[in-house]
Amino acid sequence: MFLIRPIQQPDLDVLLQIAEESGPGFTSLPGDADFLASKIRQSVDTLGRSNAAPGPETYLFVLVDTDSGEIAGTCGITAAVGLDMPFYHYHVGTIVHSSRELGVYNEFKTLNLCNDYTGSSELCTLYMRPKYRRSGQGVLLSKARFLFMAEHASRFDDRVIAEMRGFTDEQHTNPFWEGLGRRFFSMDYDQADYLTGAGNKVFIAELMPKHSIYIHLLPEEAQAVIGKVHPNTEPACEMLKREGFRFENYIDIFDAGPTLAARQGNIRAINKSRRARVILDASPPPEGAKRHLVANTETTGFRCLMTALSPDRKSVRLTEEQANALSLKEGDEARLLKL
């Protein structure tokens, strides 16, 4: 069985391994043990607060293979970005140069440094370890966050964003960085990526150009990857689009990966989830049973799993093993999402 639960302090060593496995471009998990330990403490403390308002804290979760005890992946939600330090994007805009006298009219795409998503909640830190990528549990790892948000909506902003990891080649080189970022930062992509992931973002404001950047003046290789995702990120990107997320012309300032956005009420997994009463039932799912995510309604004790269930608007039938894994008993309420 696979189970989602909040991260705990003993998970630090595995989280550090995941940070190293994920490689360049996975900004939210820098390979810094002290920084990751502080992120875990922050998540544990925030979950322990009652009625927490949206703030800069990140809720971290892990996917556990209960048979082996191994951690298969991690995911997170930052309640509100940009409140403790600036949160930067490039907005892809349009500017027109024209002369009626000369009969010339030109439209140019531009990049403008901005903080437009300040205060938004962010889906972040989604990573499935290679060993488990064909386990079929990627849906659970990603969408369990929506059940947590649906149950605890006041902890999050109405606008939810997700930064998609930008394209890098086999040498871990990002053409956008080589064509633009390196010219202003004078450092390798890996170093800049590490610094921003570790929270040192002051240098961005100090070194980035303050005026519009004309995209057509960038190298063709850099232009080609604007809004393009890393191959490993394509499934997650498509899943979010099916959930109602859209590209609003904002990209990452380092790798040019797209940022997707949606309102909570427009996210399918949030508005289609519902509560149901738990019934213990040892019989196997009937023919025609559909995959569902099932979660309890807790914070610190949040648990979520994926199982096949028969349609029932008022109740959810779980085995004793499943109920125990979710810390539920007969008569309790669970939150369901049909997949």
CA distance 186 to 204: 12
Q: What is the dihedral of CA 104, 110, 116, 120, to 10 degrees?
A: 120
Q: What angle (nearest 5°) sits at the alpha carbon of residue 293, between those of residues 292 and 295?
A: 140
As a residue count, the chain comes to 339
Q: For residue 224, how far is the Cα from the chain centroid?
A: 24
Q: Are 184 and 176 in contact (CB under 8 A)?
A: no
230 assigned to active site: yes
Q: Are 335 and 295 in contact (CB under 8 A)?
A: yes
Beta strand ranges found along the chain (DSSP E): 2-6, 58-65, 71-78, 89-99, 104-114, 121-128, 159-163, 213-214, 246-251, 258-263, 274-280, 290-295, 304-309, 315-318, 333-338
Residue tagged active-site, from 89, 152, 230, 292: 230
Structural tokens at position 156? 């999050």
Angle at which helix 138-151 crosses helix 234-242, to 10 degrees, equals 40
Could you tell me which of 302, 306, 289, 293 has the C-alpha nearest to residue 328?
A: 302
| Residues labelled catalytic | 230
